[in-house]
Amino acid sequence: MAKILVIDDEPELREFVVMSLELNNFDTVEADNGKKALSILEEEDFDCIVSDVEMPHMTGPEFLKSFREINKVIPVIMLTGVKDLNTVVDVMKAGAQDYLVKPINVDELLISVRKCIEFKKLIEQNIRLQKENERYQQHLEEMVDKRSVQLKDALFGSLIIIASSIEAKDEYTKGHSNRVRLISVDIGKLMGLENKQLQILEYGAMMHDVGKIGVRDAILNKNRSLTEEEFDSIMSHPSIGANIVKNISFFNPMIDCIKYHHEKYNGKGYPEGIRGDQIPLLARIVAVADTYDAITTTRPYRKEKTSIEAVEVLIEGKGSQFDPDIVDVFVNNRLYEKNYIHIDKAEAESGNIKPSTIILDDESSLKIFQKSKKDNSAEPYLHDEM
């Protein structure tokens, strides 16, 4: 049974409204002023409120204003003494659903009350649907996050497989790609790269030697000096790598690291002989990390050297082979004291090589990044001939 609160200071009128409602199967509660009504409303729920406008202490509009601050659902019908347009406008503005002009017509009262009860049901249904929608949205977001993490893990897993397959060709470079990744990310973080760039650096560093897939194993593992032809073959690996990944949109942003990690700061590197800032920043970082790791691990043509000896090579190559600022970041932050060989081994043994940076959220952010890079760069980012 619908429950109605009737507020009126005049007992006769209040009784008339109450009787009219009860005779039509409504349950009612009475209050002779606004304050009492507010305290009743703190305790009980109602389907509709019928309130007089003119009351001592607290007028109908004052009651409505206070009530709407705590409840926006229960509909209120105001009873006005005269059809004063200003009062009507005021009460409707204050949040009344309807108004009736005295003397009250019972039929009009019943129509208005029933309309208000339906209105309340609609509001409640709306609130319920809104909450369900919020719950659904939250669930959807959780599902998307979960799928996104799975996808990211799968992508990173495929990078590890690619890096391992390169290293399987060259017995001396086991773990090299992962160590170059770790060192590059450390440098990138110290240089304050933003997350998306850091992400591309991490993946690019992991993939930097992917082109070695196209170089014969016998050349990679040769422990005697190379012929000119063999040397040319090795020097082609950055271009081969760039060609391998150029048509795969996910790998596109990593082309810089793959193609230009053997360029030298003085322009005497390969494959293009570009110099200084012409060499993409991420490739300059990978160049330092790559060289440091190569020196500190054994190669077919020589034994490994100490981290201090490797630092000496980096410092000596400042401005000629390497970007001096990047070498400074590596040296001044004493990254050479970090045991990357140990970190890589521990990761490989635990089988838990995880990306250190936040992964690009989705395809669209990747596209935005590629676009902004194209727009902002004086150098063409992806070359047509590649």
Dist. CA 34–CA 8, nearest whole Å: 8
Q: Output the residue with the shortest Cβ distance to Fe ion.
A: 209
Residue 287: CB minimum distance to Fe ion, A: 9
Phi, psi of 78 (to 5 degrees): -100, 140
Is 209 a binding residue for Fe ion by CB under 5 A? The answer is yes
Residue 209: CB minimum distance to Fe ion, A: 4
Question: Between 1 and 40, how does the x/- string for binding to Fe ion read (CB under 5 A)?
Answer: ----------------------------------------
Which residue stretch of 2-10, 130-138, 209-217, 218-226 sits at the interface with Fe ion (rule: CB under 5 A)? 209-217
Give the number of other CB atoms < 10 A from CB of residue 12. 8
Please identify, using beta-carbon distances, which residue of 52 and 323 lies nearer to Fe ion: 323
Count of residues that bind Fe ion according to CB under 5 A: 1
Residue 212: CB minimum distance to Fe ion, A: 7
Q: What is 15-29 written as a DSSP string?
A: HHHHHHHHTTT-EEE
Which residue stretch of 6-14, 162-170, 204-212, 332-340 sits at the interface with Fe ion (rule: CB under 5 A)? 204-212
Q: Rg of the chain over CA atoms, in angstroms?
A: 38
Token reading at 123: 């509001």
Dist. CA 180–CA 45, nearest whole Å: 67
Please identify, using beta-carbon distances, which residue of 64 and 240 lies nearer to Fe ion: 240
Is 256 a binding residue for Fe ion by CB under 5 A? The answer is no
CA proximity to 256, closest of 205, 325, 292:
205
In the β-sheet with 27-31, what is the strand arrangement from edge to edge?
Answer: 27-31, 3-7, 48-52, 76-80, 98-101
Please identify, using beta-carbon distances, which residue of 90 and 290 lies nearer to Fe ion: 290
Burial of 182 (0-12, 13-18, 19+ CB in 10 A): buried
Please identify, using beta-carbon distances, which residue of 283 and 366 lies nearer to Fe ion: 283
Please identify, using beta-carbon distances, which residue of 170 and 209 lies nearer to Fe ion: 209
Dist. CA 196–CA 36, nearest whole Å: 61
3-state DSSP assignment of residue 348: helix
Residue 178: CB minimum distance to Fe ion, A: 14
Residue 231: CB minimum distance to Fe ion, A: 13
Dist. CA 130–CA 126, nearest whole Å: 6
Which residue stretch of 42-50, 124-132, 206-214, 217-225 sits at the interface with Fe ion (rule: CB under 5 A)? 206-214
Residue 218: CB minimum distance to Fe ion, A: 18
* Sign of CA pseudo-dihedral 199, 200, 203, 208: negative
Please identify, using beta-carbon distances, which residue of 78 and 287 lies nearer to Fe ion: 287
Please identify, using beta-carbon distances, which residue of 209 and 344 lies nearer to Fe ion: 209
Residue 236: CB minimum distance to Fe ion, A: 11
Residue 241: CB minimum distance to Fe ion, A: 8
Q: Which residues would be at the binding site for Fe ion (CB under 5 A)?
A: 209
